[in-house]
Amino acid sequence: MFDLTGKVALITGASGGLGGAIARAFGEAGADLALHYRSNEESAKKLSAEIREYGRKAVIFQADLTNHEEAEMLVDDAVKEFGDLHILVNNAGGPPTGTFLDFSLEDWQKAIDLNLFSTITFSREALPFMKEQRWGRIINITSVAVKQPIDGLILSNTARAGVIGLAKTLSNEFGPYNITVNNVCPGRILTDRITHLAGEKAKREGTSVEDALTAMETDVPLRRIGRPEELASLVVFLASEKASYITGTTIQVDGGLTKGLF
């Protein structure tokens, strides 16, 4: 069990899926939580109630991650509410599927704003607080696509790769202040995102979503789709003192799906 007692964590995209699982794991570990949501207020309220059952403080904040001003205000509001900020988990949903000629320049801008610029904005707002207290954790939830680009996910392949370069640079710049910056790369984890991708695959191949999900398991060495809590366990570890000498890394949670050595 990792101990995050006394720490304040801000998690974006926390109303469900991976963000929700990470929030629950942080609550169990003793952290107080600022939970961001974009539109699903009901789910965010339900999650915050669950966290409070652990005896922790949990407050929800609404913002559009692609709106830089709203993102900046969210961090300021969270610090005002909790008086501190120790951990930032950048977790944004994936952009649409398609190939290069399917997308307009506006589509590209939206993807970059969602997956890269939101990470820049939140990190830029959080780092001064972490630097002052000489302790901090930034954990970016990206995708295995940053290690092995996935056909049909060109927007994600491109925007999320920028996050990796950003994180490595920040880990070098802020290491002297005891701030670590790492990336976690989900593979096929059972969330709304993977169900959506399975639905797209089912449409193309004329099969059911269930059959598409089963097919997705076949080339995973563990022969199954992962559970959100399995990824959340790694994120809690990286946020804890147990991972104090790990920074600038990019770690996949994919059941062995990624075939590369690095």
pLDDT tens by residue, the chain, 262 residues: 799 999 999 999 998 899 999 999 999 999 999 999 998 999 999 999 999 999 999 999 999 999 999 999 999 999 999 999 999 999 998 899 999 999 999 999 999 999 999 999 999 999 999 999 999 999 999 999 999 999 999 999 999 999 999 999 999 999 999 999 999 999 999 988 888 888 888 888 899 988 888 988 999 999 999 999 999 999 999 999 999 999 999 999 999 999 988 8
SS3 category, 76: helix
Domains of the chain (ranges, CATH numbers)? 8-188+227-253 (3.40.50.720), 190-225 (no CATH)
Among 45, 42, 185, 172, which residue's Cα sits nearest to residue 115?
185
- Both tokens of 143, joined, read 């995708």
CA distance 246 to 14: 24
124 HSE (CA, 13 A, CB side): 12
- DSSP letter, residue 177: G
Please report, as a single letter, which amino acid is at residue 218.
T
Task: Please state whether beta strands 136-141 and 32-37 pair in parallel, antiparallel, or not at all (unpaired).
Answer: unpaired
**Pair 14, 37: CB distance under 8 Å:** yes
* DSSP states along 199-253: HHHHHHHT--HHHHHHHHHTTSTTSS-B-HHHHHHHHHHHHSGGGTT--S-EEEE
Q: Bridge-partner residues for 60, per DSSP?
A: 35
Among 79, 52, 51, which residue's Cα sits nearest to residue 61?
79
